[in-house]
Amino acid sequence: MSFLSKLLFKNKTQDIVSGNSDSILIKGDELRQSVDRIFGRSLFVRLVDTGSCNACENELSALSNPYYDLERFGIKFVASPKHADVIIVTGCLARNMLNPLLKTFENVPEPKFVITAGDCPETGGPFKDSYAVCGPVSKYLKVAMHIKGCPPEPEAIISGFLNFMDIVKISF
Amino acid sequence: MNKMKINANIIDSNDFARLATHVKESGRYLLGIAASDERLKGSGFKIRYFFGGKNLIDEYSVSLPAGDGSFQSISKICPAAKMYEREINDLFGLTPLGHPDLRPLMLYPENWDFSVHPLRKDYNNVIPEFRKYGDYKYKEVSGEGIFEVLVGPVHAGIIEPGHFRFSLAGEPVLQLEIRHFWKHKGIEKICEGKNFNEALNLVSKVSGDNNVNIAASYLEAVENLLNIEIPERAKHIRVILAELERIWNYVRDIAWIFMDIGFALPAQNLFALQEELMRLNKSLTGSRFMFNALIPSGVSVDFDSSKLFTIDNIIKKVEKAIKESEAFILNSSTVLDRLEFTGKINKKTAEELSLCGISARASGLFRDSRVEFPYLIYDKFNLKPALLESGDVFARTILRIKEILFSAKIVTELLFNLPEGKIITSYENTAEPYKYAVGNAETPRGNAFFYIMADGDGKIFRLKYIDPSFRIWPSIQYGVLGDIIADFPLINKSLNLSYSGNDM
Ligand code: SF4
């Protein structure tokens, strides 16, 4: 068991924040406060990949690693659209994914918001000229917020959530 | 320069169908099938079959005279051909005669008019109206007490879309049917008419987390085509970056395996390590995924001694962490309980489906492009990738650990023996019309195979890419048989295939 206990006494997140990424903590604090106020302490997010290169999902997954630990700010990725407040869309919107995207969106209870992550859902990205792509996502759904980047880095996604809070604040 | 020998044969479709048995029996295996529309050139449609063997690629090219819309299927002799033939049926409208399953693959009848075949050169770029043209028929399993569990295309986690249908009798899985290609993006078509540089950006986005190795394969093909010999230093840097990609991919994969068996602590430890590796990538290349680090005729990044030192440090850290993880796995009966005998793909299945990469090597099948088709400087190492026989999740996990240590050794060796010199060379951008070349590289998932045909203006006439995931996905349908459905996520993670690379 020594391997596990060794890990237990190493607090990664602390180490990291005091290291080179102070900015995460500052953004995170603001984010925490907004989520508390606007979404009653928890913002539930459901991902729909509509045809990405998978780099964007990798960065979204990275948000849960000990360096970023997104959940400490009140944001959680959930398994079902029925639990979600927000759907975050990645990918260029391949034709074959249009119906699954719309169905997922239908199943999110009101009030609901769409955020896109990466250049793909906003413009089609490198795939925009293809016969197999029917994006951008904004053709079909009202998008509250585009997070730019190819792919957006985890910090950019955290900033994106923060900007999203600002937008929502106005409408609440 | 191209060390790969291609042994080209021109043959009639009927004759080839007869010959296929013989080819297979001689120990060669299907690397891929590429169709192209060469009617403009006057040679009709071509279907090229590539078979791998040691240090040799056998190519059989079959011409279909214009007007002939069919060819002989070899799927019954060579099951690995099944998906390629369905793909050709979709994209070129050429029918493989005698194929057991000709349901559309990537062009969904739910939204696409099947009389339109986008990879034909006379396709007029008019996209069919988005409406229902037909139904997709799933396989049916019936019998007392049998029920179905349908999963996806949108999944519970942060993963890509795919549809899985399990037929169960009690807990054990009787049958799994996978429907993929939800993410079909038509990348091969958009590469046509692009120059080699523009297409590089597209092929890097075939499967982002493997982009360095995929680019290495693409550039191998391009550099063969244009007769470019890249500088030694660039070759070394390419290998360092490719091996770093392998390391961060496998660290992540092992973390997910821990996660799926409920060991969050060691999992998070490795996720943190993955993050450190991705930050290293960024400090070396400006991108956490090392996008655009490899370019035609060389690399876009050079290393000074401080960078080499940073790499060396983190590699030492990886080695230590991975050895600890290995000890943890081997010493914990609860971990072993979940990993051993789960998701078994036996050698015969691996052979019939022509698997590659870790998935093949875990089932006792030696497939590693770095050794079979040495590219860059891989022939300088005496590479002996590990081989395991059990074909289960355990074997795939342990192989990843061995591979990480192995890649760490390669990187360390290169760091201290980096030749001086340029990292890029000048080159002529055009090849003769209809000249083609192939490229191979071993990505973290297995063999990445490119077939590229040039037009006369330095642009791409036809590009075919075969992702390892395309070859390996069907094997999961066998791997889960008899296992309980709750083990599926674990089995899936142990192969960790790309949906994006598969769907293209
Ligand atoms: S935005 Fe870029 S990184 Fe993200 S899925 Fe699209 S191509 Fe990949």
Domain boundaries, chain A: 42-167
Task: Say what percent of chain A tops pLDDT 70.
Answer: 83
pLDDT at A13 over 60: no
User: Which residue, by CA, sits nearest to atom 5 of ligand 1?
Assistant: A52
- Distance, CA of B6 to CA of A3 (rounded, Å): 50
Per CB-CB distance under 8 Å, the chain A contacts of B324 are: 3
DSSP state letter for B453: E
Contact check, Cβ <8 Å, A104/B289: no
User: Would you state the structure tokens that stand for residue B367, as one six-digit string?
Assistant: 């497939």
Domain formed by A42-167, architecture: 3-Layer(aba) Sandwich (3.40)
The predicted model scores a pTM of 0.94
Q: Is B116 within 8 Å of B91 (Cβ atoms)? A: no
- A15: closest chain B residue by CA: B272
- Distance, CA of A142 to CA of B31 (rounded, Å): 44
Q: Is B215 within 8 Å of B203 (Cβ atoms)? A: yes
- Distance, CA of A154 to CA of A92 (rounded, Å): 19
ipTM of the complex: 0.93
Q: Is B123 within 8 Å of B93 (Cβ atoms)? A: no
Enumerate the β-bridge partners of residue B295. Answer: B298
Q: Is B318 within 8 Å of B269 (Cβ atoms)? A: no
User: Would you state the structure tokens that stand for residue B331, as one six-digit string?
Assistant: 């010493």
Task: For CA atoms B96, B102, B108, B109, give the dihedral sign.
Answer: positive
- Predicted local confidence at residue A17, as pLDDT: 39
Q: In terms of pLDDT, which residue wins out, A10 or B297?
A: B297
Q: With a 6 A CB cut-off, is A38 part of the ligand 1 pocket?
A: no
Domains and CATH numbers, chain B: 6-137 (3.30.460.80), 187-502 (1.10.645.10)
Apex B257 CA angle, A120 and A19, nearest 5: 70
Tokens 């990505």 belong to residue: B443
Q: With a 6 A CB cut-off, is A136 part of the ligand 1 pocket?
A: no
Span A136-141, average pLDDT: 96
Per-position b or e across B348-385, b if 16+ CB within 10 A of its CB: ebbbbbbbbbbbbbbbbbebbbbbbbbbbebeebeeeb
Task: For CA atoms B76, B80, B83, B85, give the dihedral sign.
Answer: negative
- Predicted local confidence at residue A20, as pLDDT: 45
Q: In terms of pLDDT, which residue wins out, B282 or A40?
A: B282
CA of B189 to the centre of ligand 1 (A): 18
Q: In terms of pLDDT, which residue wins out, A8 or B173?
A: B173
- Phi-psi map region of B148: left, alpha, beta (phi>0 left; psi -120 to 50 alpha): beta
Q: With a 6 A CB cut-off, is A98 part of the ligand 1 pocket?
A: no
- Predicted local confidence at residue A33, as pLDDT: 82
Task: For CA atoms A96, A98, A101, A107, give the dihedral sign.
Answer: negative
- Distance, CA of B348 to CA of B337 (rounded, Å): 25
Cβ under 8 Å to B: A residues 49-88: 49-62, 64-67, 77, 79-81
Q: With a 6 A CB cut-off, is A125 part of the ligand 1 pocket?
A: yes
Position in ligand 1 atom list of the atom nearest CA A92: 6
Angle between helix B468-479 and B82-91 (nearest 10): 130
Return per-residue pLDDT of chain B as tens, 504 residues. 445 677 888 888 888 888 888 888 888 999 999 999 998 888 889 999 999 987 788 899 998 876 778 999 999 999 999 999 999 999 999 999 999 999 999 999 999 999 999 999 999 989 999 999 999 999 988 888 899 999 989 998 899 999 999 999 888 999 999 999 999 999 999 999 999 999 999 999 999 999 999 999 999 999 999 999 999 999 999 999 999 999 999 999 999 999 999 999 999 999 999 999 999 999 999 999 999 999 999 999 999 999 999 999 999 999 999 999 999 999 999 999 999 999 999 999 999 999 999 999 999 999 999 998 989 999 888 888 899 999 999 999 999 999 999 999 999 999 989 999 999 998 888 788 889 999 999 999 999 999 999 988 889 999 999 999 999 999 999 999 999 999 999 999 999 999 999 999
pLDDT tens, position by position, A77-101: 999 999 999 999 999 999 999 999 9
CA of B185 to the centre of ligand 1 (A): 12
Longest dimension (CA), chain A: 55
Q: How many CA atoms lie within 13 A of B432 on its CB side?
A: 4
Q: What are phi and psi of A78, to 5 degrees?
A: -115, 160
Q: Which helix (H) or strand (E) holds B59?
A: strand B56-64
Measured between CA atoms, how close is A77 to chain B, in angstroms? 8
If you count them, how many residues does chain B have? 504
